[in-house]
Every structure is written in C-alpha cells, then in structure tokens.
C-alpha cells in the first residue's frame, strides 16, 4: 500500500507512541522478576559449590554477583519486551505478506538513553573491576614468596631457602603470599588456576606473572592447568595444601628448609670417598690443601674440617656437619677469610657435592 510523499513524511517525523495495551503491566512484571533474580543472585553462594579458600576470592565473587545481577536485569528487559512487542504488534490477519509496521526515525530522546544507559553501565563495571584488580596488585603479599613453574605435564614449586623444588604447593594459613608464575624455559605455555582462590595466570616460558593470595581456610585444593598444552593437558593437576603455621614449618623442615640459603636438601648418603678424592684433585686442590686449617693455599686446609678443636665452627659460623659443608660448597662463601664461588660456578652437581663431602669426612676421621 504505497503512501503519498507528504503522508510518508508525516508518519516518519511524528511517530505515534502507542506502546500497546499491556505495556505498564509488563513493565511491572519485569521489575518484579528482576528484583527476585537480583535477590537470588546476591544471596546464593555463587559460584555454586566452590568454597572461598582465602583472599581475594570474596571480592572476585562480589564482582561476579554484581555482573550476574546486572546481566539478569538486562536479560529481563530485552527478552520480555521483545516477546511482548512481537505479540502485541504482530501483523494483523489478512495483511499483505510484504507489509511492514510503523517505522520510527529521528527520536533523539530514545537515542540518547540507549546510548547513555549502556555507557554508564560499562563505566561502572570498569571502575569496579579495575578497583578489585588494583587492590590485588597492591596488597602486601610479600610475607611468603613462592615460584610456581609449569612443565609438560605438572607443576613444581620453589621456595626461598629450599634447594630442591617441591611437587606440592604448601602455604601457611593467614600468610599473604606472592606466587610468581612461569613455565620452564624449554616448555610450552600452561595456565595456573586455583579455583578456590579465583586466581588464574598464564605460565609462559621467559615471562613471570604474579598473583597474590592470602589463604584463610585450611584444606587441600586443586591446581589446574587451564591452557591446552599437549596430549596430557587434561591430567595436568597440582595440589595446594593450606595448613597451620606449625604444620607448614614441619613440612618445610622435612623438605630441608632448616638450612637457610640452600644446600640442606642435597642428599649426601650416596657420596663415595674415591669419587670425592678424584674430584677434589680436579676442582678444589688449586685453593685447598688436605692438611690442617693453617695450611692455606688460597683457602684454608680442609683435612680436619669436621674434627678440628681449634676451629669448632665452619667459616659460616655453623656447626661442622656434613649438611653444612654441603651448603657452603653449594652456595659458595664470601667473608673475611676470602671468597669461594658457588657450586654452579665451579661446575659441581649435587652428586659431586655428596662425593666431596664423603671425601672430606673420611679425611677428618684419620
């Protein structure tokens, strides 16, 4: 049914604001349904079944619920009005198949609001999210610092004062913890996800990402690789154990953590005297004799290192135990009697250190 030009112009410029017979009841329905949904979203323990094991899980969940509530309202407004208008303004019976409804153009008030409302919403959500993120980045999380390293297909963790990496992540409850997350330099990208803390970070070779958590709930939690990383990706899981400070200290000591500075975790029982003697000739004899302490070359003589009444302590002030000797060889030494490079610089592996300690112990027995 063609319009004349003037008729068309009239209909376009001045649309009749007919909202249909049930518009206000439907609007009331939207308000009620939205209120119920917002109430449910805000009061239910979301995400369902996932406990909060510590900060920042609570603030992340608050944001999640806010998003859920906002989304619920938008969902109701859009779908209920769409269904309502589709029914009320459906084509009348007998209308020609190509007929169209009233076309509304140039409605500046309408356009203003459908631009302003989403903009305000997005700005509010941005500010809220950025605030939570900034709080996370700025919390004092440096009481304990741990490194988490991903590899195909598992996780390992390095603690300060522990030489050997651990396969489980243990954290004392109530301790603000910084976790530096990365992947082995020759490995692929993994994802480090601890759902009960709502924290996730990519593990990228050569890049260190940081997350901060404060465990508040003793228990055992999952660590999950969240990036497809190869055939066994699905099985790449780790364990986070949150325990009391006392239990944590016990575990830490078992890992060899009682020796500050490393070296304590080196297994010494497999060391042999003969291998140690050969190694001593190659690596140590340039600077150390096997005579008494006073027989110095560059460093002191080591012949009575474990049994010398004149020198009851090692150069680092610790009691002369094999573990502490291993620690000095491992870490190197720098003090008033001189400097010795670390085992890494000297090219000594942990078995090498065990052999050297066995040899030194055999000297002291003579």
Euclidean distance between CA atoms 21 and 227, whole angstroms = 53
Least Å from the CB of residue 112 to ligand CUA: 48
Helix then strand then coil, in percent of the chain rounded to 5, is 40, 20, 40
Q: Measuring CA to CA, how many Å separate 214 from each of 47, 141, 243?
A: 19, 8, 12
3-state secondary structure 150-166: EECCEEEEECCCCCCCE
By the rule CB under 6 A, 311 interacts with ligand CUA: no
- Strand ordering across the sheet containing 54-55: 54-55, 209-215, 177-183, 144-151, 154-158
Least Å from the CB of residue 184 to ligand CUA: 11
With beta carbons less than 8 A apart as the criterion, state whether 279 and 273 touch.
no
By the rule CB under 6 A, 238 interacts with ligand CUA: no
Between 63 and 229, whose beta carbon lies closer to ligand CUA?
229
Between 180 and 233, whose beta carbon lies closer to ligand CUA?
233
How many C-beta atoms surround the C-beta of residue 202 within 10 A? 16
By the rule CB under 6 A, 63 interacts with ligand CUA: no
Between 38 and 148, whose beta carbon lies closer to ligand CUA?
148
By the rule CB under 6 A, 330 interacts with ligand CUA: no
Euclidean distance between CA atoms 120 and 114, whole angstroms = 10
Least Å from the CB of residue 133 to ligand CUA: 25
Joined together, the tokens standing for residue 333 give 């030494």
By the rule CB under 6 A, 227 interacts with ligand CUA: yes
Q: Which of 229, 290, 354, 357 binds ligand CUA (CB under 6 A)?
A: 229
Q: Which of 233, 283, 296, 311 binds ligand CUA (CB under 6 A)?
A: 233
Within 135-174, the residues that bind ligand CUA by CB under 6 A are 150, 153
By the rule CB under 6 A, 299 interacts with ligand CUA: no
Q: Which of 30, 73, 181, 236 binds ligand CUA (CB under 6 A)?
A: 236
Euclidean distance between CA atoms 111 and 366, whole angstroms = 96
DSSP output for 217-239: S-EEEEEE--S--STTGGG-EEE
Least Å from the CB of residue 281 to ligand CUA: 45
By the rule CB under 6 A, 190 interacts with ligand CUA: yes
Between 47 and 154, whose beta carbon lies closer to ligand CUA?
154
Residues that bind ligand CUA (CB under 6 A): 150, 153, 190, 225, 227-229, 233, 236
């Amino acid at each position: 049914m063609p319009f004349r030009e003037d008729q068309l112009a009239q209909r376009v410029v001045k649309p009749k604001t007919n909202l249909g017979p049930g518009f206000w009841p439907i609007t009331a329905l939207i308000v009620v349904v939205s209120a119920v949904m917002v109430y449910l979203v805000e009061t239910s323990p979301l995400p369902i079944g996932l406990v909060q094991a510590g900060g920042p899980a609570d603030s992340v969940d608050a944001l999640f619920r806010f998003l859920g509530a906002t989304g619920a309202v938008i969902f109701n407004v859009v779908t209920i009005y769409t269904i309502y208008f589709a029914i009320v303004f459906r084509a009348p019976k007998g209308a020609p198949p190509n007929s169209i409804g009233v076309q509304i153009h140039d409605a500046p008030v309408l356009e203003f609001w459908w631009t302003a409302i989403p903009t305000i919403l997005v700005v509010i959500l941005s500010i809220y999210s950025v605030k939570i993120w900034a709080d996370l980045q700025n919390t004092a999380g440096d009481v304990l610092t741990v490194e988490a390293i991903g590899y195909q297909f598992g996780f390992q963790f390095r603690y300060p004062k522990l030489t050997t990496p651990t396969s489980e992540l243990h954290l004392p409850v109530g301790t603000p913890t910084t976790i530096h997350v990365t992947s082995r330099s020759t490995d692929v990208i993994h994802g480090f996800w601890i759902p009960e803390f709502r924290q996730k970070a990519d593990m990228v070779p050569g890049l260190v990402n940081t997350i901060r958590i404060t465990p508040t709930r003793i228990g055992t939690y999952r660590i999950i690789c969240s990036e497809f990383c190869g055939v066994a990706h699905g099985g790449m899981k780790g364990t986070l154990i949150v325990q009391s400070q006392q239990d944590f200290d016990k575990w830490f000591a078992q890992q060899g953590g009682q020796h500050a500075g490393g070296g304590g975790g080196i297994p010494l029982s497999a060391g042999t005297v003969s291998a140690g003697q050969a190694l001593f000739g190659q690596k140590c004899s340039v600077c150390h004799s096997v005579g008494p302490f006073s027989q110095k070359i560059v460093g002191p003589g080591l012949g009575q290192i474990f049994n010398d009444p004149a020198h009851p302590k090692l150069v680092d002030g610790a009691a002369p135990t094999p573990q502490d000797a291993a620690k000095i060889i491992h870490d190197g030494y720098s003090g008033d009697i001189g400097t010795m490079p670390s085992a890494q610089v000297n090219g000594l592996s942990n078995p090498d250190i065990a052999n050297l300690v066995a040899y030194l112990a055999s000297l002291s027995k003579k």
